[in-house]
Structure 1
Amino acid sequence: MSSEVIYRQLGSNGPKVSALGFGAMGLSAFYGNQVNDAENHEVIKVAVEEGCTFVDTSNIYGPRMGENERFIGQLLKDPSFRSKVFICTKFGIYFSSTGVGLSGKPEDVRRWCEQSLANLQVDCIDLYYQHRVDRSIPIEETWTELKKLKEEGKVKYLGISEATEEEIRKAHAITPISALQIEFSPWTPDIKENGILKVCRELGIAIVAYSPLGRGFLTGVYKSPADLEMGDYRRSNPRFRGEAFSENLKLVDALKEIADRKSVTPAQLTLAWVLAQGDDFIAIPGTKKLGHLKDNIGSRGVTLTAEELQSIDEIVNRIKVVGERDVAGLLAMNAF
């Protein structure tokens, strides 16, 4: 499982981090009912050993608040492991007896930061994201508190997720944003057209692509909705259901043709394409299986020619994905 680690700068004011990181959400929940902590610890330890040291979690990943953070904290309490990891977590979404809500109130920001520090068993969070923007209050209130947390040494760098161009500008004016986390892949290339990528490059903000493999769809592993485990939240995702599933396989098949000619897997081709979008792109695929992790890591050794990139771009433009991204549905499923 050897390929050279690629590093990217985390925005104009940040450090070098691994371009291929690790998204830990699925280790606690959402992608099926079975969760094995021992096996999942092994996956994340191998990921870090192999250079995927940019590790992403959130205080709401898992069936209970803080569960995924506490799971990772069991490893981070070891100083030798902590020294290798650039740990990223998020705040802003919460569970309650009435459902799921958002808050960017300063008192909540501070409370959640303290809880995340305790859950992760660290004295400083490397990258702290506003997971979703609370539009019931001015974003400046949230980011003024984040600036204080940074000045106090509780967080090193700040990020935001799924924000608009205006929200990015307003937050960045308070204190620098180092990273925008947003869904990006061949079936969700929206930021290239909607102005988000342009504003991030203007302000020196890195792009952290979550679901870079289309929530696993673009790997070609799934041939029908029945292949998804019971309890897998993707069963409710519009892109994974009925006729949409069949239509979206056309994109997978077209990408697989290029991958086969190049003697790489669809996952490796897709991740290489994401990282080839620019030196400001970082990808955080996640998996519970060592075999899939090995496959993902292999993407670091894949170089795409200008002709291959053009061919993939033409496929992405020609084959339209059926079904919405289901951001609202994910929130309803407690699965951000």
Structure 2
Amino acid sequence: MRAVDGSLKRLQRDCIDLYTQHRVDIDTPIEEVAGTMKDLVKMGKIKAWALGEAGIKTIERAHKVFAPVAMQSQYSMAFRELEQNGIMDTCQKLGITIVAYSPLDRGFLGGNFNKNTTFHKTLDFRASMPRYTKEALEANQSVIEFIKKVAQSKSINDKPASVAQVALAWILSNKSFVIPIPETTKIHRLEENLNASLLHFSLNELKEINKELSKIVIIGDRYAPNSDAAKSVGL
């Protein structure tokens, strides 16, 4: 309650549209969390709530008490775990929107990373992730090359589509209940990302794209094994 009040004060708002529990709290039953969210809605402090990186059982248990409207999880053309572990199917069945964070795979699907790309050891958390080692970046160029081929046949406002735009447009076209949330610090990248909404794929195109993606093996875990981050997802 104190956290919500603090957020409302800092945001200078009377109500928060979507309040997200970004990781499952292993010390608090999800039923208690859902009940508290229900109270916050009744009090008019939030309009709805969302889970983050939760597993199927947690999603179902929360839904029985007070349904979350969204579930934030990592999802991209280079990270499709949600399609294999049942979470996407569960969210679709329960009418829960998936908010796809890192839809550009932490910048990798911008198309500019290669084996020579380095990350600051203390200021950039990607330096500790197996997905962004020299070996993984080199091996995973296969997905970039494929997306580039797709981009060659697409244009936006009479300009060739970029790798990033194809990656974002794929999420928007592939599942109607999935919303990507790319982040950037540059205005021109923001404009590029927004224009991805102008790019569309037919059902046949999506079928072929997904068929080819399924053949590509992505190297490297998203989090270091046994790290706190790795242990906090799928609970």
Structure 1 residue identity aligned to 2:50 = G
Contact 1:213 1:285 in 2 (8 A): yes
Which residue does the alignment assign to 1:164?
A: 55
Find 1:119's aligned residue among 7, 10, 20. 10
Deviations 1:244-289 (A, max 9, x none): 1111111111111111232311111111110112221111001001
RMSD (Å) for aligned C-alpha atoms: 1.9
SS in 2 for 1:226: coil
- 1 CA distance for matches of 2:200 and 2:75? 19
Q: Are residue 222 (structure 1) and residue 113 (structure 2) matched? A: yes
**In the alignment, residue 112 of structure 1 is paired with which amino acid?**
A
1:292 aligns with 2:183: no
Inter-partner Cα distance in structure 1 for 2:3 and 2:56: 25
State whether structure 2 residue 152 is matched by structure 1 residue 255: no
In 2: Cα distance, 1:255 partner to 1:330 partner:
32
State yes or no: 1:151 paired with 2:38.
no
In structure 1, what is the Cα distance between the partners aligned to 2:72 and 2:215?
26
Residue type of the alignment partner of 2:146: A
Indicate conservation of the 8 Å contact 2:115/2:135, yes or no.
Answer: no
- Who is 2:124 aligned against? 232
CA distance in 1, matches of 2:55, 2:229: 18
CA distance in 2, matches of 1:226, 1:201: 37
Displacement after TM superposition at 1:307 (Å)? 3.2
- SS of the equivalent of 2:214 reads helix
Change in 2 beyond 3 A, CA 1:128/1:325: same
Counterpart for residue 76 of structure 2:
185
C-alpha displacement of 1:229: 5.5
Residues 293-335 of structure 1: CA deviation (Å, up to 9, x unaligned): 1211121111112332123212321111111121775849xxx
**Farther-moved stretch of structure 1 (121-130 vs 258-267):** 258-267
Secondary structure of 2:19's match?
strand
Contact persistence 1:234–1:240 (CA under 8 A): yes
Tell me if structure 1 keeps the 8 A contact 2:73–2:98: yes
| TM-score, normalised via structure 1 length | 0.63
Please, which moves more after superposition, 282-291 or 298-307?
Answer: 298-307
| Residues 225 and 235, structure 1, Cα contact 8 Å, conserved in 2 | no
Q: CA deviation at 1:148?
A: 0.8
Q: Which residue of 2 aligns with 1:311?
A: 208
Count of residue pairs the alignment pairs up: 223
Instruction: Kindly provide the amino acid, as one letter, of the partner of residue 287 in structure 1.
Output: T
| SS class of match (2:105) | coil
| CA distance in structure 1 between the partners assigned to 2:135 and 2:228 by the alignment | 20
Cα distance between partner residues in 2 of 1:215 and 1:133? 22
**Unmatched 5+ stretches in structure 1:** 1-109
Seq. identity, %: 37
User: Corresponding residue for 2:91?
Assistant: 200
Runs of 5+ in structure 2 lacking a partner?
155-159, 231-235
Quote the Cα distance in structure 2 between the aligned partners of 1:191 and 1:266: 22
| Aligned-partner Cα distance in 2 for 1:225–1:157 | 44
Cα distance, 1:113 vs structure 2: 1.3
Contact 1:224 1:245 in 2 (8 A): yes
Most deviating of 286-295 and 136-145: 136-145
Q: Distance in 2 between matches of 1:186 and 1:224?
A: 20
Partner in structure 2 of residue 72 of structure 1: none
- 1:164–1:196 contact (8 Å) kept in structure 2: yes
2:183 aligned counterpart, secondary structure = coil
Query: Which amino acid is the alignment partner of residue 205 of structure 2?
Result: E
